[in-house]
Amino acid sequence: MDSVYELYRRGCDLLDHGDHSAAIVPLTRARELEPTKTSIREALGRALFHAQRYERAAEEFQAVAAAAPTNDYALFCLGRSMQLLGRHREACHPLAVACSMCPTRADYRLYRDRARRDAASS
């Protein structure tokens, strides 16, 4: 049986090589073994996001943000997942918080502003 670390490393290697769907398998197994490890959940969220499984990605990023509320990247990815699900109003808060944590990130500002615009028009 693979250790949690081996599963995590395998998943991250697959993720780094762009094989997002394949990365989901070992990262899900690692998360099942260590559900409180935010590094595992963030990597799984990234794999799910890139595999266009936005609902599940949002769940992983929400769990990371709940455990580590100062993780701007998890908040940003949570907001982006919400946007891609068409849930623009829900995307506004995590994107605004991420943007306030890292105001120099142009990408954070861009997607925060898009979420606000799309929420206002819906």
24-60 burial: b if 16+ Cβ within 10 Å, else e:
bebbbbbbeebeebbebbbbbbbbbbbbebbebbbbb
Within a 13 Å sphere around the CA of 39, how many CA atoms are in the beta-carbon half?
7
Alpha helix locations (H) across 34-121?
38-50, 54-67, 72-84, 88-101, 106-121
Q: How does pLDDT run along the chain (122 residues), one tens digit per residue? A: 689 999 999 999 999 999 999 999 999 999 999 999 999 999 999 999 999 999 999 999 999 999 999 999 999 999 999 999 999 999 999 999 999 999 999 999 999 999 999 999 98
Q: What is the pTM of this model?
A: 0.95
pLDDT of residue 49: 98
Token reading at 91: 């995307």
Token reading at 34: 């260590």
